[in-house]
Copies of this chain bind each other. A is one copy, B any other.
Amino acid sequence: MPTPTVENYLKALYVQPPAPGQQPTELIPMGQVAEAMRVSPGTATSMMKTLAEAGLVEYEPRAGVRLSERGLALALQILRRHRLIEQFLVQVLGLDWSEVHDEAEELEHAISDKVLERIDLLLGHPDTDPHGDPIPPSHGQPAHVELTPLSLAEVGAQVTVARVLDQQPDFLNFAHQHGLTPGSRLTVLAHQPAADAITCQPEGAPSLTLGTAAAGKILTLIEQTAS
């Protein structure tokens, strides 16, 4: 049984974005690990050595780490727990989507497989959590869906919000207030490169201008491109 700390490292390694243009199987530098886990670089190095000895990662000194096959399987299992718990907290207990991330962060280490599968059943085997993040199946990889950041959607396109990447409560409250939740539809009205912004029109809510950094955190499914 991995400790909660080990589980958190594995999860963090899995969700590290690959450097631009790199495959997700590339090595993650130690600095990135240390920052993701908010520990000192020395702590990150020694933990990666420990995980490597346990066969959960492949560690190349001064180059970086990547998850091993076993580490990947474990990371997916933990992510499954985390996301099912989030969905449960929203659907069954009625918590707000902005507060469930931190709750799930604790519960994911305490819940048993049995309870988890009961939750899965009660929820009807959902495949995403309240933020649109895919819930990995109990075995194997989650299905890959091609999504486009709102910041890259064409002017005139009609899109459906599929996933909101930022888990910060402030951002999630903002997104909720403006109708930017998974499933809501919107039309891209304009890009303003000079202002580093994009304007869109959510269905049933006032139009809205976002910085491209914020818009990059909203992943969408393109329903209809500009004529």
A95 CB contact (under 8 Å) in B95, B106, B110, B115: B115
Interface residue A62 (Cβ < 8 Å from any Cβ of B): no
Copies of this chain present in the complex amount to: 2
Tell whether A103 is near chain B: CB-to-CB under 8 Å: yes
- Give 15 A-B contacts (CB < 8 Å), ordered by A residue: A89-B115, A92-B92, A93-B122, A94-B118, A95-B114, A95-B118, A99-B114, A103-B112, A103-B114, A106-B111, A107-B107, A107-B110, A107-B111, A110-B110, A110-B111
Q: Chain A 94-112, CB within 8 Å of chain B: the 1/0 string?
A: 1100010001001101111
Number of interface residues of A (CB under 8 A): 18
Q: Is the CB of A93 within 8 A of B110?
A: no
Of listed A109, A111, A115, residue having the most chain B CB within 10 A = A115
Residues in B with CB closer than 8 Å to A93 are 115, 118-119, 122
| Complex interface: chain B residues within 8 A of A94 (CB) | 118
Among A92, A109, A110, A111, which residue has the most Cβ atoms of chain B within 10 A?
Answer: A110
* Least Cβ–Cβ distance between A62 and chain B, in angstroms: 36
Give chain B residues whose Cβ lies under 8 Å from the Cβ of A119. Answer: 93
Measured CB to CB, the closest approach of chain B to A186, in angstroms, equals 31
